[in-house]
Chain A
Amino acid sequence: DQQVKQNSPSLSVQEGRISILNCDYTNSMFDYFLWYKKYPAEGPTFLISISSIKDKNEDGRFTVFLNKSAKHLSLHIVPSQPGDSAVYFCAASDNYSGNTGKLIFGQGTTLQVKP
């Protein structure tokens, strides 16, 4: 039972355009969401997060939107750069698990930004 789903295995965009990565979840107890970025042969690195009390969080070129009623979040990258090409993982946590570091990850979306 996949509680966090990233239904698009891959996404290809042109440099300078917007990249939109999507993530859906089923567990209504999740109240904190994170995006991680992973390059080949490296560990995931934290990108941006959002609490369920917010519907938007922005950090430079990266913005995460949360729609709790739809149990959906998205990551927007504007403008996209070739260096953004990586695998992006959505992850979720509930109030209890957040203190323990337990995260539930989606399957990942491979983003390719073409020059």
Chain B
Amino acid sequence: NAGVTQTPKFQVLKTGQSMTLQCAQDMNHEYMSWYRQDPGMGLRLIHYSVGAGITDQGEVPNGYNVSRSTTEDFPLRLLSAAPSQTSVYFCASKGGLSYNEQFFGPGTRLTVL
């Protein structure tokens, strides 16, 4: 199992450009989430999904879109990048009900100029 994979590892965008951060998991997990990590802020939830076709907003959803057409994939879209979206983005997945650990991907470091 590859676990949770994210591409790209690094990306530089200009203000106003769009892009998609890819996330995939091969553990057949129902639950997937996107977090961003900023200095002094910890990790903040952007969007999450409880299964294919179902998504919802987290703490900081503005400027981001998601969709979940398959169990395996959960892409995060930036429609018009802003410097405030410069951050490290982590995708995570969790299997089953109730409390159990989430598995995180290695992260994508995004810089918006």
Which residues on A are within 8 Å of B, measured CB to CB?
Answer: 4, 6, 9, 32, 34, 36, 41-46, 49, 51, 89, 91, 93, 98-108
Contact = CB atoms under 8 A, between A and B. Distances in A.
Contacts of A6: 42
Given A42-B107, A103-B45, A107-B41, A98 B102 contact: no
B18 to A, nearest CB: 24
B107 A32 contact: no
Contacts of B40: 9, 107
Given A42-B106, A46-B101, A104-B45, 14 more contacts: A34-B101, A41-B107, A43-B92, A44-B43, A44-B90, A49-B101, A98-B98, A101-B33, A101-B48, A101-B94, A102-B48, A105-B44, A107-B40, A107-B41
Interface in B58-96: 58-59, 90, 92-94
B45 A99 contact: no
A31 to B, nearest CB: 9
A100 B31 contact: yes
B33 to A, nearest CB: 5
